[in-house]
Amino acid sequence: MPENRYENPGGPVTPSPRPGQERYVAPVDEGGLGAVDAVKADDAPTSLWRDAWLQMRSRWLFWVSAVIIVLVVLVAAFPGLFTSLDPRVCNLAQALEPPQAGHPFGFDRQGCDIYTRTIYGARASVVVGVLATTMVVVLGTAIGAIAGYYGKWFDTILSRITDIFFAIPLVLAAIVIMSVTTNRTSFTVAFVLALFGWTQIARITRGTVLSVKNNEFVTAARSLGMGRGQILWRHVLPNSAAPIIVYATVALGQFIVAEATLSFLGIGLPPSTVSWGGDISAAQGAIRTAPEILLYPAGGLALTVLGFMMMGDVVRDALDPKARKR
């Protein structure tokens, strides 16, 4: 055998090093094997919701919107913690008086304390917004999930019904219905808003269910003998919840604005119920002489809607995979 080759027992013949040339052997850690071995394979895998939470809490916009929402919820649930006065007690002798001790916002045209009415006005708006959003999520999710998962004539009929309601403007339809309604309560206003506001979430749910129902885990569940309804409830809907949550967060602010619009027009909540929309309507006559009467309830309404809108943007960016890639 030539001198520049040696025989490796049990393996191929490899060239031998030249005289004066040393064989180089790379260190074991140079290939990154140490880093790979240091990874803990027994750690629990991260989920979409955990990744979304980690991303949201790293953004200052999330904390700003969370503080606004928590403050509004506290004011709506426990207004007595922020004021000890009755918003319905008014004194005409104090009409349009400027701010003073115990009355930081002054008085309106009826001699009512503006600060107290602004605090108590949050309850009506938040209650209507939460009720309407809950009804919309339940109704729209059910219709969209059935249409997207079962398909065929279910999809045809429900999609055409959705198109009919989608063509009706929400506020215009609510104005028509509320103008002939005698029992105007928070539940009535929320029900009317939900009756014409479920179409968007139904479309979102239908599209999401269509993309989820063909995944491998759905096929595996079907092969294990699970029923279609059980698969829809236990597997398809939980994996379609992300866009529904995003829309619900944004829609809550939209329904608060819709309630204020109806109350401003005088066909929403009755005058006996303290609401931001009603106070804005009552203050429009003094907008030139005392604009602060209008600015305080309008500012509370704008701040509340801003908080929910910002939270919706943060949740959307965290739960949308395409947004995370950007």
Question: CA angle, corner 74, sides to 133 and 129, nearest 5?
Answer: 15
Is the pTM of the predicted complex or chain greater than 0.95? no
What is the model's pLDDT at position 289?
82
- Tell me what pLDDT residue 6 has: 45
> For domain 48-80+105-325, is the CATH number 3.60.130.10?
no
Torsion (CA) 134, 140, 146, 149 in degrees, nearest 10: -100
CB atoms within 10 A of CB 143: 23
Residue 242 is predicted with a pLDDT of 86
Question: What per-residue confidence (pLDDT) applies to 54?
Answer: 85
Interior angle at CA 89, CA 84 and CA 93, nearest 5: 115
| pLDDT at position 63 | 94
pLDDT mean for each 10 residues of the chain (326 residues): 49 56 56 53 64 86 94 93 89 86 88 92 92 94 92 89 92 92 90 94 92 86 85 88 89 92 91 90 84 90 93 86 53
- Contacts with 158 (C-beta within 8 Å, 6 or more apart), sequence order: 143, 144, 146, 147, 202
